[in-house]
Amino acid sequence: MTIKSAIVTGAGTGVGKAIAKALLGAGFHVAMLGRRVEVIEKAAKEVDPSGTKTLAISADISDPAAVVAAFDKVKAAWGRLDVLVNNAGVGAPAIPMEELTPEHWHAVVASNLTGAFFCTQQAFRIMKAQSPQGGRIINNGSVSATTPRPNSAPYTATKHAITGLTKSTALDGRPFNIACGQVDIGNASTEMTQYIEAGALQADGSKKAEATMEARHVGEAVAYMANLPLSANVLTMTVMATQMPFVGRG
């Protein structure tokens, strides 16, 4: 039986773990990547108690050598790569732009953009060479890929850049049956978004509690995209809490 395999970056917590769980439910074997070995191993045991359909791989995706090693492990274990989900990402402190340090900026760019690029490169390497040729790449763009929050320049800039990476990947992958799409997520309830439920800064300077949705709905959306035949592609999808301020932002 041919194994359908997927890699999910940032899979140890929150949305990434929800995506990994949904892909397992959709029939994929899933390699779960994350920086903290104890977190990624705990998450893998949680979503796959038998340990037969997951790989827990500790890797810093901003390190190209670590990315190559991680993708080689997946290829060695399952023989091919059908889906890559570039989910890993971090933010910077929500402070005025002029107070951000170079370290803040570089950390966000390295994780959100450079890491996604390195992973996409390795996915191309495997997907172009395997038989049948091709595969699918799904990028986590965030609603910040179109509309920023106040004091979010590094995060917003990288998410706008992810949209460019998505379109370039979709174009460059076309001759090799590699599809690429993007899911823009708004207010999924995770540890990272607890501040939104308590009160998030709005464009008018006020603070307001915002509605959230369960992270599993994001996982279900990604699983739908992942299971499409390669003759079809969702280029962009927005999955958001219905009552959140986004359309018009306010």
Range of the domain at 65: 5-240
CATH code assigned at 144: 3.40.50.720
| Residue 245 pLDDT grade (very low, low, confident, very high; cuts 50, 70, 90) | confident
Q: Is residue 158 included in any domain, yes or no?
A: yes
Is residue 42 within 8 Å of residue 20, measured between CB atoms? Answer: no
Q: From residue 180, how far is each of 6, 23, 78, 96 by CA, in Å? A: 14, 17, 21, 34
Please report whether residue 72 resides in a domain.
yes
Please pick, among 155, 156, 215, 239, the residue that the annotation labels catalytic: 155
The whole-angstrom separation of Cα 215 and Cα 162 is 21
Beta bridge partners of 238: 184
Q: What is the pLDDT of residues 166-179, one digit of tens each?
A: 999 999 999 999 99
What is the average per-residue pLDDT within 201-211? 82
Q: At what angle do helices 64-78 and 115-129 cross, to 10 degrees?
A: 30
> What is the SS3 assignment for 39?
helix
Query: What's the structural domain count of the chain?
Result: 1
Question: In this structure, what are the phi and psi dihedrals at residue 184, rounded to the nearest 5 degrees?
Answer: -100, 120
Judge whether 224 counts as a catalytic residue: no
pTM above 0.75, yes or no: yes
- Cα 80 from Cα 199, distance rounded (Å): 44
User: For residue 11, is it within any domain?
Assistant: yes
Q: Which residues are 137's β-sheet partners? A: 84, 180
* Structural domain includes residue 246: no
Q: What is the DSSP secondary structure assignment for residue 98, as one 8-state letter? A: G
* In a domain? residue 245: no
Residue 172 lies in a domain: yes
- Whole-angstrom Cα distance, residue 26 to residue 22? 6
Q: What is the mean pLDDT of the chain?
A: 94
Q: How far apart are CA 105 and CA 155, in angstroms?
A: 9
Q: Is residue 65 in some structural domain?
A: yes
| Helix, strand or coil, per DSSP, at residue 8 | strand
Domain membership flag for residue 248: no
pLDDT tens per residue across span 131-161: 999 999 999 999 988 888 889 999 999 999 9
Please count the CA atoms within 13 angstroms of the CA of 225 that sit on its side-chain side. 29
Task: Give the pLDDT of residue 250.
Answer: 57
